[in-house]
Every structure is written in structure tokens, then in C-alpha cells.
Amino acid sequence: MNNNKIAKASSLALILCGLSLVLVLFTPIWRIELDAPQYPEGLSLLIHANKLAGNVEIINGLNHYIGMKTLHADDFVEFKVLPGIILFFAAIFVLVGIVARRKLTNLLLGIFVLFGILAMVDFWRWEYDYGHNLDPNAAIIVPGMAYQPPLIGFKQLLNFGAYSIPDTGGWIFVGAGAVLLGVVVIEWKRKNKSKHPKSALNTVAALIFAFLFSSCGTEPEPIRIGKDNCDFCKMTISDSRFGAQIVTKKGKKYKFDDQHCISQFLHEDKVKDEDIAGVYFVNFNKPHDLITAETAFFLQSPSLKSPMNGNIAAFSNNDSLENAVQTFYGNKITWEEILK
């Protein structure tokens, strides 16, 4: 075995990655979604390698009122150089796969990671400029307010929720990077006399799956009492014993201060059932952790006096509920009954 050469499986994986990168030229790399009560269908800004797409004109019209710059593809030097960079990496992936040298593979990983860091820094720099350099003569001025979109994830900007995430082309880039990292790790193990050198493709696939699975972001996040606002009534969440949260399949989190608010939110189809990854309630008992609606035990009692008079508390087990009944006389109720 030549320790300077990578396995055929690794070479094939790199060549396939190189070919897939060409698809990035024809698909959006990033997307920023905006939603607000006046736009129930949402607005989207799609960033391609050489252009902007989506609801660009509508977004420009809205941003004019708060003094943000209008978006035009000609203003971005990145659109002139990015297609060439993509083709460069596509060719280099294929070339390294054909030459099949370990040192070249390691060098490619370093260059690819460096490009990813620089690209995200440049994107953040653009978002900062876009959200902070506002026209002082704008029709709507909120003192101290900036409108920088999130680099990745969700951020509330006035009455708009902004959600930023890679699109098809971006995920192809992420996948190529994950495969490349997997190849480097595998070949390092192989060089050090790994006992299973023939399992390269399986290991690469496992690494990609683990990476994508960890990137889904469909776990709930803690509700910050006194800081987070209810996504239905807009009141500050103030009682640590109550509260609920919806997490979408895209990882967006909606927080509520009361059962009444989350029920109304769902009844009004603010988010579609098929888009929901999970519904969670705050455990009435300490440590007030979040528990799934399907496994929670609910007590309805006027004595609970919850923030919006939903007067329903969630418990992680039936024993806790039975103990609470001794203080808060009421009725047991199921999640299905709450939804009616």
C-alpha cells in the first residue's frame, strides 16, 4: 500500500463532490425569509452565485421606509468573482481526486475551510452595513434600532421575523466540505494502519449524516423569563411556571407565555402542521424544563391564574399532577382536548 496515495473510494468521493459543485452555479446559495402579519405567505431573498432573486422589489420598497439601501446585483463585486471561485473549487476537487495524493487532499481542506470563513465574514460585513447604515431622512426612524439580518438562524426585526439559512447551493457546499473532511480523517486513520481501510465510503456517509442531523436545529431552546416575548400576544414572558414553544422543521422557534396563546396561534394557522417539528410546554414544577406536548400531563384549574388566563399547567408525570391537584383543584385534560 502506498501511504502517499488516498484510497479509490476517497478519490471517487472527491470527484463526485467536484462535479456536484458545478450545480451551485444554477441554484440559490443562501436565502433570507421574512414574515410579518401583513405578509402571511412570507417574503424571500434568494442569493445566487451571480444574482439576487425572490421578492427583491417588494423588500426594497419596504426597506425604503426605514432608510435601508436598495439591493441591486450590480452593487456586489462578489457576484463577479464567485462563479469563478466555484468553478475553481469544482476543478480542484476533481483534480485532487484524480491525482489522489494525501498532501493535496489536506491542502484542499485548508483552502476550502479558509474560503468558507472568508465568505461568512464577508456576508456578515455586508449584513452589518445593510442593517446599520441607514438614511437619516427615512420616513420611519426608531432611535437606536438597527436592522442587521441574522448570519444564520432567526432574528426579530420590528414586526418582521427574519430567518437566514443556506439554500440548495449552500448545502451542496456544506456537503462537499463534510465529505472532504471525512476523506482527510479516513486517510489519516488509513495512514496509521487503520484496521478497516475499506470502509471509507461508509464512514464518509456517516460523517455527512451526522453533520446534517446536527445542523437541523429542531431542539427547543430555553425560554428567557423577562426577556423573550410571546409570539402571539407580544407580551413579555414573565412567569417561569408557564410557557410553551413551537419548533419548526427549519429550526425556527416560536415562544408563548400561556396555553391560551399557543392554542390561538395554532388555530389561526400561523404555522402549518406539516412544518412543525415539535410542540413543548414548560414543566410547572422546577426546574421548569421543556417537555413535549405529547408526553405532558395537563391540569386545568382557575386557581392556577396563568398570565393570559389559559389556566392550564403542564407536568412531566402523572404523580406530579396528582400532587398539584391537592392545591389547585381542577380537571385533568389532554393535549388533544386543548387543541379542540
Q: Do 220 and 290 meet the contact criterion of CB atoms below 8 Å apart?
A: yes
Confidence of residue 320 (pLDDT cuts 50, 70, 90): very high
Indicate if the pLDDT at residue 213 is higher than 60.
no
- C-alpha cell, 27: 441554484
pLDDT surpasses 50 at 197: no
The interaxial angle of helices 168-191 and 200-214, nearest 10 deg, is: 140
Q: Is the pLDDT of residue 307 over 70?
A: yes
Handedness of CA 141, 145, 149, 155 (dihedral sign): negative
- Classify residue 121 by its DSSP letter: H
Give 282's pLDDT tier (boundaries 50, 70, 90): very high
pLDDT (average), residues 199-209: 53
Region 283-302: mean pLDDT is: 94
pLDDT at 278 over 70: yes
Q: What is the pLDDT of residue 75?
A: 87
pLDDT for position 218: 75
Neighbours of 265 (CB within 10 A): 19
Beta bridge partners of 299: 313, 332
Q: What is the pLDDT of residue 201?
A: 52
- 25: pLDDT strictly greater than 60: yes
Average pLDDT, the chain: 88
Mean pLDDT of 278-307: 94
Please tell me the predicted confidence (pLDDT) of residue 340.
82
Over the stretch 114-126, which tens digit does the pLDDT of each residue have?
999 999 999 999 9
As to burial, measured by CB atoms within 10 angstroms (0-12 exposed, 13-18 middle, 19+ buried), residue 74 is: exposed
* Whole-model pTM over 0.75: no
Please state, in angstroms and rounded to a whole number, the distance separating the CA atoms of residues 132 and 145.
Answer: 8
Q: What is the pLDDT of residue 3?
A: 64
Place of cell 452565485: 49
Render pLDDT for 82-114 as a digit per residue (tens, 0 to 9).
999 999 999 999 999 999 999 999 999 999 999
The amino acid occupying position 320 is S
Helix axes 78-99, 102-132, angle to 10 degrees: 160
Higher-pLDDT residue of 166, 211: 166
Q: What is the pLDDT of residue 227?
A: 87
Strands (E), the chain: 30-36, 39-47, 52-54, 153-157, 160-166, 244-248, 253-256, 276-282, 290-292, 297-300, 312-315, 331-333
Assigned C-alpha cell, 98: 484524480
Q: How many residues in total does the chain contain?
A: 340
Q: From the CA atom positions of the chain, what is the Rg in Å?
A: 25
Looking at residue 252, what is its pLDDT?
86
User: Looking at the predicted structure, is the pLDDT value of residue 145 above 90?
Assistant: no
- Taking 80 as the threshold, does the pLDDT of residue 287 lie above it? yes
Q: What pLDDT is stored for residue 215 in this prediction?
A: 46
Q: How confident is the model over 119-145, as a mean pLDDT?
A: 88
What is d(CA 172, CA 176) in angstroms, rounded to the nearest whole number?
6
Per-residue pLDDT, 146: 84
Assign 4 to helix, strand or coil: coil
pLDDT computed for residue 86 by the predictor: 96
Q: What pLDDT, in 10s, does the model give residues 215-240?
A: 456 788 999 998 889 999 989 999 99
Mean pLDDT for 168-182 is 94
